[in-house]
Amino acid sequence: MDGSNLPEVRSTCAYCGVGCGVLLRPDGAGGLTVRGDPDHPANFGRLCSKGTALGETVGLGHRLLTPRAFGRNVGWDNALQLVADRFRETIAAHGPDSVAFYVSGQLLTEDYYVANKLMKGFIGSANIDTNSRLCMASTVAGHKRAFGTDTVPGTYEDLDQADLVVLVGSNLAWCHPVLYQRVLAARQARGTRIVVIDPRRTASCDQADLHLALNPGSDVALFNGLLTEIHRRGAVDPDFVRLTSGLEAALETAGNDQISETGLPAEKLAAFFDLWINTPRVVTVFSQGVNQSSSGTDKVNAILNSHLATGRIGRPGMGPFSVTGQPNAMGGREVGGLANTLACHLDIENADHRAAVQAYWQAPAIPQSPGLKAVDMFRAVEDGQIKALWIIHTNPAATMPEADRVSRAIAACSFTVVSDLTLNTDTARLADVVLPAAGWAEKNGTVTNSDRTISRQRAVLQSPGQARPDWDILAEVGRRMGWKTAFDYASPAEIFREYAAMSQIAAQFGKDFDISGFSEIDEAGYAELEPTRWPLGRKGAGGRFFGGGHFFHSDRKARIVPVAHRRPAALPGPKYPFVMNTGRTRDQWHTMTRTGLSARLSAHLAEPFVDIHPQDAAREGISSADLVEVTSPTGRGIFRARITQDVRIGHVFAPIHWTAETAPSGRVDMLVPGTTDPISGQPESKATPVSISLMQAPWYAFAVSRNPLTPSVAYRATVRTDNGYRTELADHARIKNWEQTAREWFALTDADAVTAGDPARGSFRIALSQNGCLQAALFVSPRPLPLMRDYLASMPDIPPAQFLTGRAPADAKDTGPIICACFGVGLKTIVDAISCGKAISVDAIGAALSAGTNCGSCRPELGALIDRYSPDAADNLSLQLQGGVA
Ligand SMILES: Nc1nc2c(c(=O)[nH]1)N[C@H]1C(S)=C(S)[C@@H](COP(=O)(O)OP(=O)(O)OC[C@H]3O[C@@H](n4cnc5c(=O)[nH]c(N)nc54)[C@H](O)[C@@H]3O)O[C@H]1N2
Ligand SMILES: Nc1nc2c(c(=O)[nH]1)N[C@H]1C(S)=C(S)[C@@H](COP(=O)(O)OP(=O)(O)OC[C@H]3O[C@@H](n4cnc5c(=O)[nH]c(N)nc54)[C@H](O)[C@@H]3O)O[C@H]1N2
Ligand code: SF4
Ligand SMILES: [Mo]
């Protein structure tokens, strides 16, 4: 069927909390075309590289099609009955707190609502926590302490209207690219200044007026310095401060902090204080550099304090702005997905709230106190307190701190259920029961983005096999556990209606979360639901909160909370002299189960890497493209070295995206300890003391293949290419017969082989073909290999002997690693254009090659290329970007 006549359907991007609107057109053959929705208030048509490539990630090759139990395919009836029976039996024998759900900020609001209702109201335990504990928990706690509610005061328009945007622990250019584009547009239109506060130089620094590379974890000291300076310079807003309490105490505590803890030079501090204090329209955007810290909640309050003291909150172009990570991180907070909250911003610790929620649900139970937070939840799994666990839409075996310990706990748990799209995840592989969930393009529901805008996600594709939406699976288990009417939902609209009506209770208690305007919404209304920012219909408020006070503590005042700087819980010492920071890369989403399906997204940074400062590298004898062992008290990993001044001396940075599926030794969370913020329970993911050392291996190899290559060796990293896979390998064990080994690894025992190299000197190359068609090739060397990797990965149709030279023939172009993922433009193509004078600005590169003209995410890298250009700089940079040798 030709899909070109199928209508476009409005939906929301599957990835980050910006919540961009997308227009999806099914191609009638299971695929999709995707473009930005020009009418969506989050993006007005823009998309980043990940959103643009959504259509490349809806393939079915990896999907789980039937429920599985104990390693066998079973029907839904058996699977659901098994889950319901085992949970019921466990609760009967050991009480409701012997079971737990670990869910996700990527669930739809309707999924989340049902999970929360089942656990808190019907099972009667609060042991439901979410990966938002690793993500937003410190912000939730900080907001509640300051405002009496977990509410983001501002809106995206504030970014358009600000004169100063301060990014604290946020790599907005890569992690919220469409918001970053909005900030750049404001810079163009009104000269908005940008300050980045981040120990590391990131792509977000590219356009920044000021980059403060502070000591890790010293944000409280910095913002206490700002508060002190605000007071000293008479910039406190006395009228607004009357709507708050605590300023005096906060000033006193702040005055005792040492600004030197930030490690920042006086002139940079002065420049920051001047800018901040003299620019009323300031938005302070913050993200994981703030939240993921053992002082995360205090960092949040330190930021909020400066905005409260100056009254710069809830007014156009002003305010603290926590940007959410996952597409429904905000919806999950609203619907009460955390172990210490109830739905609709109601509190588990408030007896009246509990009673009202229980009555509304007509529930048999309601927990009297908060449940276990993520890190403690998995410790309770480990020590056998939790005996039945259901993990939905998240991959904790890879992304929880102490990932190996968490994996062992999951494996040892008496009964584990995982709901996922695929069996091929670190977590699903450990489960007793795996349930096939319907994916993003296959299910209906709502999500709330960073500025409280609720948008519809709409199903445009059929679910494959027996896959079912998460809400449906949860509701069915609820019914089978004996609560037939409470979970008798026929559609997500019905769930949304019940939830919206519930928010009336919250309004009665004076809570801000009110979407009761939707309590009567019918199927047609739900089908057509337009993006809507709550609070609904609050006239003149512009959707902002707190511009005129009206906080949600009992006295209606905000709290300016006294907070004192604390260093990270573990500091570098003789055994672990470096601080390891972790975070995201531009084109991958978390554990790559979806973005990893796209060859062009995978071409940006194709290996787990560790960024090391040149001086540290020199001292440790590490060169670019070497493999490096990184060790912490909880584990040891292997990463490709990138030598760069983007990180400071004594610091290293590694991305979070690699798993046992793609690079078993490149999993950063093996190394991260389970230390948490005492208030929020959020782990300290960005400051792990580690040691680093050169990995000395007798051989290194690069492979291209039609099928994935997964030998068990010390180092392996595999990504997709257009024609198959590319893999980097290294090991400590010598291999005697390389040809035989290659044939076994590739499962090509009978293929035709062409070989080259000098095995005696450790160099060996083999191309394996069938029917004249190249199936696989392996390049082995005693040193990291200088090859044209991107050219080879395209598996060009050239004679095997020529292929084995590792170089493109003179007339074929090696485009180099992909810089512009939208148009697939490679590094070398761009550098060629710069070198021949065709392109001397980012816009000129766009005009010549289209690079950077769609989502704009690569524009910082294009700028860097122009700065660094020289004919052989291409190879150096390629090396740094790609970890390999060009
Ligand atoms: N491409 C891409 N985008 C994503 C995601 C993805 O996987 N890939 N995931 C989404 C999700 S769930 C989230 S939560 C967001 C996260 O978005 P961000 O928080 O922007 O991303 P991170 O890379 O985790 O961390 C941000 C920065 O914090 C810095 N940092 C580390 N320690 C400190 C410190 O002590 N103080 C300060 N001020 N900064 C510090 C790091 O160097 C890093 O650059 O991204 C979302 N968007
Ligand atoms: N060291 C370190 N660790 C970190 C972080 C860090 O910065 N540093 N960041 C933390 C943060 S902020 C976050 S948000 C987490 C993210 O970590 P995770 O949530 O664990 O990572 P994802 O890869 O997003 O996992 C989502 C899973 O859901 C599956 N899935 C996709 N669609 C569906 C669906 O519709 N239904 C169901 N049931 N499953 C589906 C995917 O295949 C995948 O296995 O990582 C955290 N871990
Ligand atoms: S910024 Fe990119 S990943 Fe985030 S919602 Fe928009 S298109 Fe999706
Ligand atoms: Mo996140």
Q: Is 13 in the pocket of ligand 3 (CB under 6 A)?
A: yes
Q: Is 289 in the pocket of ligand 1 (CB under 6 A)?
A: yes
Q: Is 288 in the pocket of ligand 2 (CB under 6 A)?
A: yes
DSSP state of 123: I
Longest dimension (CA), the chain: 82
Using alpha carbons, list the distances in angstroms from residue 766 to 10, 71, 707, 763, 854.
49, 37, 16, 10, 40
Answer whether 465's CB lies under 8 Å from 63's CB: yes
In testing the pocket of ligand 3, which one of 40, 48, 448, 822 has its CB within 8 Å of the most ligand atoms? 48
3-state helix vs strand vs coil in the chain, percent to 5: 35, 20, 45
pLDDT at 781: 95
**Which residues, in sequence order, are CB contacts of 667 under 8 Å at separation 6+?**
398, 403, 426, 608, 637, 658, 659, 660
One DSSP character per residue, 261-288 reads GG---HHHHHHHHHHHHH-SSEEEEE-H
Ion ligand 4: residues, CB within 5 A, are 135, 325
269 closest CA partner among 212, 221, 227, 220: 212
Tokens of 109: 């609001």
Which ligand neighbours the alpha carbon of 399 most closely? 2
Nearest CA to ligand 2 atom 4: 399
Q: Give me the residues of the chain with pLDDT under 50, please.
A: 1-2, 538-541, 870-886
pLDDT at 822: 83
Phi, psi dihedrals of residue 640, rounded to the nearest 5°: -80, 135
pLDDT at 875: 43
Answer whether 431's CB lies under 8 Å from 417's CB: yes
What is the H or E stretch that residue 541 is in?
none
pTM given for the model: 0.95
pLDDT at 542: 63
pLDDT in tens, 677-721: 999 999 999 999 999 999 999 999 999 999 999 999 999 999 999
Other beta carbons within 10 Å of 733: 9
Q: Is 393 in the pocket of ligand 2 (CB under 6 A)?
A: yes
pLDDT at 4: 61
Q: Is 640 in the pocket of ligand 1 (CB under 6 A)?
A: no
CA dist 23 and 421 (Å) reads 23
**Is beta strand 773-781 parallel, antiparallel or unpaired with respect to 699-705?**
antiparallel
Ligand 4 centre from 326 Cα, in Å?
A: 5
Nearest CA to ligand 1 atom 10: 325
Q: How many CA atoms lie within 13 A of 392 on its CB side?
A: 28
Strands (DSSP E) contained in 494-546 are 532-533
**Is beta strand 773-781 parallel, antiparallel or unpaired with respect to 764-770?**
antiparallel
Question: What does the buried/exposed string (b/e) look like for 82-104 if buried means 16 or more CB atoms within 10 Å of the residue's CB?
Answer: bbbebbbebbeebebbbbbbbbb
Q: How many CA atoms lie within 13 A of 325 on its CB side?
A: 24
Tokens of 669: 């969370």
Question: Of all atoms in ligand 1, which is nearest to the CA of residue 286?
Answer: 19
Answer whether 834's CB lies under 8 Å from 867's CB: no
Q: Is 586 in the pocket of ligand 1 (CB under 6 A)?
A: yes
Nearest CA to ligand 2 atom 47: 399
CA dist 138 and 129 (Å) reads 14
CA dist 740 and 881 (Å) reads 33
**Which residues, in sequence order, are CB contacts of 456 under 8 Å at separation 6+?**
10, 11, 12, 444, 445, 446, 526, 529, 531
Identity of residue 664: P
